[in-house]
Chains A and B, each alone.
Chain A
Amino acid sequence: MTVAQFFGCGMITFGPPLVLFIITMAKDPIRVIMLVASSFFWLLSLLFSSMLYKVVGPLQPYLAFGALFSVLFQEFFRLLWFMLIRKAEVGLKKVSEDNLEIIENKHILAYVSGVGFGLISGAFALVNVLADMTGPGTVGLYGDSPSFFIATTFTSLAFIFLHVCWGVIFFAAMHTRRYLLIAYVIMSHLLASAITLLNPLYAVTVPLVWLVLVVTAVIALCVAGVSPASVRNSLKFSDRAYRVDAVDVGATDSRAHL
């Protein structure tokens, strides 16, 4: 049972992002490197926020404080990461000469770094819980909710997806200087985090977090320029023609650079 639960919960949380990774990133080394680097940035943000948490001893019982600052740190490091990518764009162009896709379509990098942030935050939220899942022991013997694990799992998944959407929105907003969207990212991050503060009330928190996710996802899709028509297009498997175009553009471009 415990092992089954371990695998089930693990798959729920990490299955979807893993599929995203395999389908959209695993083939392109640059994307994988970007993924790892962005998760490194998230790690740095966590490090700083937990340092702060450690330093202010008296406030340690109030997790809300730690969560608040952690969210701010994360967004700050997202900004830093964005600036770094921007600085490195020239180099990136050189490195990825064969597929300029990654430079031309800014959303790709945004999405990749969003997944990076999401994966590592999901990992940090869940791995130790997962490790505990394999037993020995059972949840709920002392009157705790028996759905502890499953709630954690679904919330983690929501946060992973939220990070992806936030990444896309944030980067697009920075590129086009729509600061309202940045404010939305920060506010919705704070909101989602605040919702989970209520947490033993799973019936409230999990649906609310997913609601935030749906809203954010819609905004992210709009920002990325997804329309019903483009969805239909992409479902027609016409991406082969698309890809050839991209290669064409990239190739002629690199010629022009020479």
Chain B
Amino acid sequence: MDGHVSIEDHSVEDGSRTRNSGAAKEPRATNPSDNDPSTPMAAEGAGGPTPQPPPGRRPLTEEERAARLEQRRQRDREHMERQLEEEEELVLKYGAQHVIKLFIPVSLCMLVVVATVASVTFYSEKGIYLLYTPFHETSDSVAKNVMGAFVNAFIILALVVVLTFFLILLYKFRCYKIIHGWLIISSLLLLFFFTLLYLMELLRGYNIGLDWITVSLIVWNFGVMGMVCIHWQGPLRLQQAYLIFVASLMSLMFIKYLPEYTVWVVLAVISVWGEYTVWVVLAVISVWDLVAVLCPKGPLRILVETAQERNEPIFPALIYSSNILYSSLTMAESSTPSTSTTDNGGSHDGGEAVADPLQQDHHAPAPAGGVGRPTISTAPSSSRRRRSSEAEAGFGPEWEAGRQQREAARQRRVAEHGEASAPDVAGGGGAQQPQEEEDEEERGVKLGLGDFIFYSVLVGKASSYGDWNTTIACFIAILIGLCLTLIMLAIFKKALPALPISITFGLIFYFATSYFVVPFAENLASEQVFI
């Protein structure tokens, strides 16, 4: 109800000041008192730094001001409650958009892996194994193989844990150079060596001849471009494509070089198919993921929080950022220097506002991160947005946790959504530029590359048995798990591990499908009975 009032209030002002650039971004810093604020603290605190209102705006008289403040205090509590609710809605709404933005890359990654596994036998052949898995599960005794699988899994897990802690330590002590070097070397390896391997196997699989000169030219160009894109600069689409490719290469490696063994222990299902360290590793990794992200002192939590303390993006964090669209938008405009942001944004917003006065409403969910104010994050972020890729650690997802920041971002979003121009709560009056950029950048759902890798390992492994029903079932189950994780993200509002739910769903559906559904579906298909 009070919202309604505030909106009317607002629209009156709109009429008088013809909604200038302030509508979306300016007013936070300039004239907070003419909007419905989120807290009195913000309103009062912001009163100080307020300079004179922008030229087009009607200055408020003292009485008006006082009356408004009073009103505001009265309804403040309600407002806060409402805001909390709205916040939740927004996260959900936000989620709906970003779920899709994660669906696409995850599906693409799986597609690459599945297509490769299905068409190139090299990746489903066994024989060579990773150094870390000394037990090759060749013995006849089931118990021995299971033991071997577990030992393998724990060795790999230990490796991942050690590497993660190592990374955290480096990060903690700001040894950025070492981390960068590490990442560069690992991506160098992936982009050149593994790409070469992949290309060769692909050619061999399709029985195509190609001379070495051409191959080396292709690999060189591909690799160098990848290095440039991942570690320095490049169109975002290209960068994301490289990240997806790197992730799928990595999961192909896992599929190929992990010895196969039993998972039935893990699921207490003695399955006909059960065999594979991969499965054990998947289960163990998802547990590790859970611990790492959720424990109060879990390493990934520390990483995320340290990053937030230092007010910088999780830089080495091998993260796939979901705001592809926004990013490409910003990339497109990033030539404009950041000083011109307001102009740019102004014309943008103003134009739309003229065309459609309701624009603010029906645009509401999207602009939160992007369309509405794409320019703010422009120039500086383009250099920061380099997400690096790292291979070994299967570690988890960082969904931009960080209470304060997200809260601030969200509040701002809420404010914007509701009032189209509310003062920033967290930033007080002087919402400084860096903070803002930060929020811009961290907005959106992010998924660790490790998640991509392990999702693809699961689906690829499922497809390597040649049954497509199982593959589809795993795929759907993983997507649903991802959805559920995102819903939980909206509820708990902190960084969550993306692997456990999805992988558990995937495993359950893998085994259930291959044990129950496949015989039934095969009968149906061969008898041509449709259900």
Q: What residues make up the interface of A, taking CB atoms closer than 8 Å to B?
A: 29-30, 32-33, 36-37, 39-40, 43, 46-47, 49-51, 53-54, 63-64, 66-67, 70-71, 74, 91, 94-99, 120-121, 123-131, 148, 151-152, 155-156, 159, 192-193, 196-197, 199-200, 209, 247-248, 250-252, 254-256, 258
Partner among B365, B467, B528 whose Cβ is within 8 Å of the Cβ of A148: B528
Which of B366, B466, B468, B480 is A40 in contact with, Cβ under 8 Å?
Answer: B480
The residue on B at minimum CB distance from A40 is B480
B466 contacts A131, C-beta separation under 8 Å: yes
Instruction: List B contacts of A99 (CB < 8 A).
Output: 362
Q: CA–CA, A210 to B526, complex, Å?
A: 21
Bound CA–CA A91/B531 (angstroms): 33
Report B-chain residues with C-beta under 8 Å of the C-beta of A130: 468
Q: Which positions 327-359 of chain B face chain A at CB distance < 8 Å?
A: 358
What are 25 A-B pairs with beta-carbon distances under 8 A? Answer: A32-B100, A33-B96, A33-B100, A36-B476, A37-B480, A40-B477, A43-B509, A47-B516, A50-B519, A53-B520, A63-B524, A66-B520, A66-B531, A74-B531, A96-B93, A98-B366, A120-B476, A121-B530, A123-B472, A128-B521, A128-B525, A129-B525, A131-B468, A156-B530, A258-B418
- In the bound assembly, the distance between CA atoms of A197 and B529 in angstroms comes to 5
In the bound complex, CA of A111 to CA of B16 (Å) = 46
Q: In the assembled complex, how far is the CB of residue B404 from the closest CB belonging to chain A, in whole angstroms? A: 25
**B479 and A121 form a contact (CB under 8 A):** no
Contact A258 B521 (CB under 8 A): no
**A95 in contact with B96 (CB, 8 Å):** yes
Q: How close is A96's CB to chain B, nearest CB, in angstroms?
A: 7
Question: Which B16-72 residues sit within 8 Å CB-CB of chain A?
Answer: none
Chain A residue with the shortest CB-CB distance to B82 = A258
Contact among A32, A128, A252 with B467 in the assembled complex (CB-CB below 8 Å):
A128
Contact residues of B: prevailing secondary structure: helix
Known A47-B512, A197-B529, A254-B361: A125·B524 in contact at CB below 8 Å: yes
Which one of A36, A151, A193 has the highest number of Cβ atoms from chain B below 10 Å of its Cβ? A36
Name B356's closest neighbour in chain A (CB-CB).
A247
Partner of B523, one of A36, A63, A197: A63
The chain B residue with its CB closest to the CB of A68 is B531
Q: Are A54 and B529 in contact (CB under 8 A)?
A: no
Nearest A residue to B521 via CB reads A124
Say if the beta carbon of B469 comes within 8 Å of chain A.
yes
Is B302 interfacial (CB 8 A cutoff)?
A: no
What CA separation (Å) do A98 and B367 show in the bound complex? 12
Residues of B within 8 A of A33 (CB): 96, 99-100, 483
Residue ID in chain A nearest B513 by CB atoms = A47
- Taking a contact as CB atoms under 8 Å apart, the answer to whether A50 and B516 are in contact is yes
Near A by CB (< 8 A), chain B positions 151-172 give none
Name, among A96, A98, A200, the residue most crowded by chain B CB atoms within 10 Å (CB to CB): A98
B255 at the interface (CB under 8 A from A): no
Once the chains bind, are B472 and A124 in contact (CB under 8 Å)? yes
Within 8 A of A (CB), among B478-524: 479-480, 483, 509, 512-513, 515-517, 519-524
B97 CB–A CB distance under 8 Å: yes
Complex Cα distance, B477 from A98, in Å, reads 28
CA distance A192 to B469 in the complex (A): 22
Docked Cα-Cα span, A188 to B89, in Å, equals 40
Residues of A within 8 A of B517 (CB): 46-47, 50, 124
Distance A70 CA – B531 CA, assembled complex (angstroms): 7
B253 on interface, CB distance cutoff 8 Å: no
Residues in B whose Cβ lies below 8 Å from that of A98: 361-366
A96–B96 contact, CB under 8 A?
A: yes
B527 at the interface (CB under 8 A from A): yes
Smallest CB-CB separation from A91: which chain B residue?
Answer: B92
With A and B bound together, what is the CA distance between A209 and B531 in angstroms? Answer: 12
- Chain B residues with Cβ below 8 Å from A46 are 517, 520-521, 531
Q: Which 3 A-B pairs have the closest CB atoms?
A: A50-B520, A258-B3, A127-B468
Knowing A39-B476, A50-B521, A123-B472, the reply to whether A251 touches B362 (Cβ < 8 A) is: yes
Closest Cβ of chain B to A149, distance in Å, is 10
Q: Which residues of B contact A200 (CB under 8 A)?
A: 528
Evaluate contact between A94 and B89: CB separation under 8 angstroms.
yes
**Across-interface contacts of B522 in A (CB, < 8 A):** 128
Contact B469 A54 (CB under 8 A): no
